[in-house]
Amino acid sequence: MSHDSTPSKPAAQQVAKDVEELERRSQTAARLFDVRRIIGGLFVVYGVIVTLAGVFASEEDLRKAQDININLWTGIAMLILGVAFLVWLRLSPTVPPPAVRDGDAAE
């Protein structure tokens, strides 16, 4: 354990530098799709399916859920959530990251 403290200063700074360099080359910001599209899409599809199940609910379904048409209400709520995510995506789309600046390479 005694040798722990000797050369770690350059190591720690080197790591921070490496991470900065990797951050510059990172492609996630530029190429990763927006998760709102997935949430919105899935919940619209789920919402439609579950709402339809509610529209055609059987007597037994209703009795089981204490006379609440739970499929209908859940389906509508999911549909609203899904549409809300798609509208949000439409109103404030993903901001494309700034292109790699020239000055950065010299650092």
Partner 1 sequence: MLHLAEGLRLPTNGLDYTLLGIYFAVVLGIGFAARRSVKTSLDFFLSGRSLPAWITGLAFVAANLGATEILGMAANGAQYGVYTVHWYWIGAIPAMVFLGLVMMPFYYGSKVRSVPEFLLHRFGPSSHLLSSIIFAVSSVLIAGVNLYALALVLKALLGWELWISVVVAGFFVLAYITLGGLSSAIYTEVLQFFVILAALIPLTVVGLKRVGGWGGITDTLSGEKGGAFMTAWDGTGIGSANPLGANWLTIVLGLGFVMSFGYWTTNFAEVQRALSAKNLSAARRTPLIAAFPKIFIPAVVVIPGLIALVMEPTLGKTEKGLQYNDAIPVLMRDLLPNGVLGIAVTGLLAAFMAGMAANISSFNTVFTNDIYAAYLKKDRPDEHYVATARWVTVAGVLIGMGTAFIASEFSNIMNYLQTLFSFFNVPLFVVFIIGMFWKKTTPAAGFWGLLTGTVGAMVNYFWLYKQGVIDIPTDQGANFVSSIVAFAVGAVVMVAVTLFTKPKPAEELAGLVYGTRSPGEPEPLGEGDDAWYRKPALLGWGALILAAVCYVPFSF
- The CA-atom distances, in angstroms, between 87 and each of 8, 29, 62, 83, 91 are 50, 21, 33, 6, 6
Q: Using CB under 8 A, which of 48, 61, 76, 83 touches partner 1?
A: 61
* CA 67 to each of CA 3, 9, 47: distance values in angstroms, whole numbers, following the listed order: 72, 68, 20
- How does DSSP assign 21-32, residue by residue? HHHHH--HHHHP
Q: Which is nearer to partner 1, 92 or 102 (CB)?
A: 92
Residues 84-103: x where in contact with partner 1 by CB under 8 A, - otherwise, as a string: -------------x------
Q: How does 48-82 read in b/e, with b if 16+ C-beta sit within 10 Å? A: eebbebbeebeeeebeeeeeebbbbebbeebbebb
5 to 24: interface string for partner 1, x by CB under 8 A = x--xx-xxx-xx--xx-xx-
Question: Can residue 48 be called a binding residue for partner 1 (CB under 8 A)?
Answer: no
Binding site for partner 1 (CB under 8 A): 1-2, 4-5, 8-9, 11-13, 15-16, 19-20, 22-23, 25-33, 35, 38-39, 41-43, 45-46, 49-50, 53-54, 57-58, 60-62, 64-66, 68, 70-71, 73-75, 77-78, 81, 97
